[in-house]
Copies of this chain bind each other. A is one copy, B any other.
Amino acid sequence: METIMCSGFKAAGVASGLKKNGEKDLGLIFSTVPANVAGLFTRNKIQAAPVLLDKKRIKSGVCQAVIVNSGNANCCTGDQGMRDAAAMAKFASSGLGISEDLVLAASTGVIGEPLPVEKIEAAIPSLVKALKPEGISDFAEAIMTTDTVPKVAFRQGKLDGKTFTITGVAKGAGMIRPDMATMLCFVCTDINADPDLLKDVLYIAAEQSFNRITIDGDTSTNDTLLIMANGLSGAVVKNRTDKNLFQGILNDLLIGLAKEMVRDGEGATKLVEIVVKGALSNEDARKVADTVANSNLVKTALFGEDANWGRILAAAGRAKVPVEPDKVDIFFNDVLMVKAGMGCGKTAEAEAAKVLKVPEFTILIDLNIGNGYASVFTCDFSIDYVRINADYRS
């Protein structure tokens, strides 16, 4: 399926030499007209220089381009890092012939090494020259680190007979967990919506998508989620109904990208939805879902295709919310594995074993003490996760 880029947006990705292996490492998204913009950033106390830069610039609500590099996070790089983040934005603005204030920046890669901005400067002419609507797939490649596949998706909707498009591109296969946005996600749309509204819908869509996924429980210093809306489709968000329609489509797009991320989690072989119902509150349900989704023992059992429901129950039991052991039911897809806190025996185990062999399934934990509900996505924890992360810097 070809990705459709929304009207007035172009993108590109080139190799600037930041990645040692010569792969694409520098990306640019450009709107032919200034776009309204909103963003969400990491809640980590340690924040990379481009995050600090963007948080300042995004207050204007307007943006026309985003420049992104992989191979270096420009984080924990002090004042020099701040100058380097501003410099990469400046290079892009010069190349594009637009105001420096209209450019945002993002970086991903190793923390604590100075950003070789001269490589970025040298690559700007070829980067700008490569800009085209279908360049979004090159951009997607350029922002990859340990991702194994580029992640691009689009959705379309209609307002007053006018079709608008939302195109999203993301990277991130580790260091993702609830209460963070993704590693990096850039959303372009040709809808017409003001920055405050964009921020509202972006926040809700992030809660529904990136804040529901976990790969390894770690969070990043660089996480950035941006949405740019240039209005060129002519579709205008005028009222609550329009907003809801836009919200629904954006949710759907970001949930799709979030699931792509988990599917491509470092070393992951399974995408598992953890659903918790019957908790005393939605907050309690979420705590149980997160604890199960982040449990290394659960995740290694998923890798081993072992229906080890004891570990699921044990993880639920340490979530620090009310759980009554003898009321808990657990399903693997539609297979009842645990009834009232006790295993359902060998037949259920055999059926569950079949579920565990498929690449995507749901584990439902029903606490049966209330109406609280939550759902998160996780992946298994494999030998390759350790391999990837033990060797990352070498």
Contact = CB atoms under 8 A, between A and B. Distances in A.
Given A44-B317, A113-B343, A308 B78 contact: no
Chain A interface category by residue count: 35 or more
Contacts of A382: 386, 390
A281 interface: no
A141 interface: no
Contact of A390 (B216, B300, B324, B338): B300
Interface of A is mostly: loop
Interface string A295-311: 11100110110101111
A174 B219 contact: no
A342 B77 contact: yes
A4 B60 CA distance: 73
A73 interface: yes
A306 B392 contact: yes
A391 interface: yes
Contacts of A383: 383, 386-387, 390
Nearest to A323: B45
21 contacts: A44-B317, A46-B317, A46-B323, A47-B325, A111-B313, A112-B310, A112-B313, A217-B296, A218-B297, A218-B318, A220-B314, A296-B385, A300-B386, A300-B389, A301-B390, A304-B392, A308-B392, A381-B386, A383-B386, A383-B387, A386-B386
Given A78-B326, A382-B390, 5 more contacts: A45-B316, A76-B310, A76-B342, A297-B389, A304-B392
Interface of A: 43-47, 73, 75-78, 110-113, 174-175, 180, 216-221, 294-297, 300-301, 303-304, 306, 308-311, 313-319, 322-326, 338, 340-343, 381-383, 385-387, 389-394
